[in-house]
């Protein structure tokens, strides 16, 4: 197996994902495919971070279901809870306690300068009150998002955090917080995790190939990995290519995107052939689109079947299941929090697990 991060075998690696209604092919090729590859090489900790999903307006009735669906999807894609440590963020309370401790060594100015906070704040302010669900506006939770993300990471003291480049600023802040905590309390509690930018295919929107594939752009812009075959074919056939079958010195964004998807789906030989045809002005886009659709359908068919089996087995969100699933990861977070509490001058044990006292 290839080493996707370039790190020493056995290193602890952490990656997290927010619970959403659907995983699209960009999520799979950009992250989940690597999760599956890494779990048998490294000590992997993978989390579904449901607290982070609360930093923007959301439907409260859907949060638990989306968390459950994300776990099922990850396992259907090949993430093995026996080979890695898989957790639900809200079932590891050490995250939020550690978030508060870390917030006391993080500056207001650092958070105010975060690019994603500025961008998301503008987006939220642009929404009208009628668009909002369960609250509106820029919240303190959105502002503190990077500190909770730092707690998510540092709770497990990973050596490596593979991320996309859009998360570079957050990881730099995480490293800064770890360094400042260690210096302030003169304890080497937190290692500074190495930020590794994984080499992944950049999958763009089907109808706006100059923009990254995202569910926020609308259903026609992405292909969900569990979309039925007829839906996959319909979306790919409607995807943007260019104005016609003409010879071009440079591949158009739409065609380049379809070729990227086809290669990511394991059809490298077909991609070489079609690139040659394109340069010669002989490529028929209907053939390209059919090849992409069929490659995606074949790739994700076993995962769709596995997903149905898992849904039948676990039968919906369950606090007992979430708790049991998260215990393997939580044992690491408990140990970290104990050391952080002790370093900060707090009594180093977890009161939640003691029996009620009659001393008073």
Question: How many CB atoms neighbour CB 246 within 10 A?
Answer: 10
144, 234: one domain: no
Is the residue at 2 inside a domain?
A: no
Q: Looking at the predicted structure, is the pLDDT value of residue 2 above 50?
A: no
Active site residue 120: yes
Q: Where residue 249 sits, what CATH number does that domain have? A: 1.10.240.10
State the average pLDDT for the chain.
88
Q: Which of 8, 120, 127, 168 is catalytic?
A: 120
Is the residue at 358 inside a domain?
A: no
pLDDT tens readout for residues 134-148: 445 788 999 999 999
132, 271: one domain: no
Domain that holds residue 74: 12-202+318-353
Is the residue at 323 inside a domain?
A: yes
Number of structural domains the chain divides into: 2
Q: Where residue 140 sits, what CATH number does that domain have? A: 3.40.50.620
> In the prediction, which pLDDT does 9 show?
60
Highest mean pLDDT (candidates 56-60, 201-205, 332-336): 332-336
Between 130 and 323, the more confident residue is: 323
Put the strands of the sheet holding 160-163 in their side by side order. 85-88, 43-48, 12-17, 160-163, 194-197
Q: Which of 127, 202, 215, 234 is catalytic?
A: 215
Active site residue 315: no
Q: Which of 168, 212, 235, 284 is catalytic?
A: 212
Mutual orientation of helices 285-314 and 229-237 as an angle, nearest 10°?
150
Q: What is the pTM of this model?
A: 0.86
83, 178: one domain: yes
Active site residue 168: no
Tokens of 291: 């090849």
């Amino acid at each position: 197996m290839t080493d996707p991060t370039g790190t020493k075998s056995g290193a602890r690696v952490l990656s997290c994902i927010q619970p959403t209604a659907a995983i699209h092919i960009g999520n799979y090729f950009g992250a989940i495919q690597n999760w599956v590859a890494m779990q048998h090489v490294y000590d992997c900790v993978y989390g579904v971070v449901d607290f982070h999903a609360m930093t923007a307006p959301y439907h409260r009735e859907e949060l638990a279901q989306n968390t459950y669906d994300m776990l099922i999807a990850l396992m259907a894609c090949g993430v093995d809870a026996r080979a890695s440590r898989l957790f639900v963020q809200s079932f590891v309370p050490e995250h939020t306690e550690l978030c508060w401790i870390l917030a006391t060594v993080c500056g207001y100015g650092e958070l105010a300068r975060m690019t994603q906070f500025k961008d998301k704040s503008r987006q939220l302010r642009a929404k009208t009150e009628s668009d909002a669900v369960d609250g509106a506006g820029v919240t303190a939770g959105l502002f503190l998002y990077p500190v909770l993300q730092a707690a998510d990471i540092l709770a497990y003291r990973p050596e490596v955090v593979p991320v996309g480049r859009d998360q570079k600023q957050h990881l730099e802040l995480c490293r800064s917080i770890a360094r400042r905590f260690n210096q302030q309390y003169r304890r080497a509690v937190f290692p500074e995790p190495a930020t590794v930018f994984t080499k992944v295919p950049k999958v763009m929107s089907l109808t706006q190939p100059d923009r990254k594939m995202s569910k926020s752009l609308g259903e026609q812009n992405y292909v969900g990995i569990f979309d039925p075959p007829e839906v996959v074919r319909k979306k790919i056939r409607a995807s943007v290519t260019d104005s016609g079958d003409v010879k071009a010195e440079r591949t158009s964004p739409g065609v380049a995107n379809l070729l990227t998807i086809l290669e990511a789906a394991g059809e490298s030989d077909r991609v070489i052939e079609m690139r040659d045809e394109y340069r010669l002005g002989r490529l028929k886009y209907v053939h390209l689109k059919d090849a992409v659709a069929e490659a995606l359908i074949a790739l994700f068919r076993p995962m769709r079947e596995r997903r149905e089996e898992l849904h039948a087995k676990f039968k919906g969100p369950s606090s007992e299941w979430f708790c049991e699933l998260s215990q393997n990861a939580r044992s690491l977070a408990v140990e970290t929090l104990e050391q952080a509490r002790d370093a900060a001058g707090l009594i180093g044990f977890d009161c939640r697990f003691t029996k009620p006292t009659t001393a008073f």
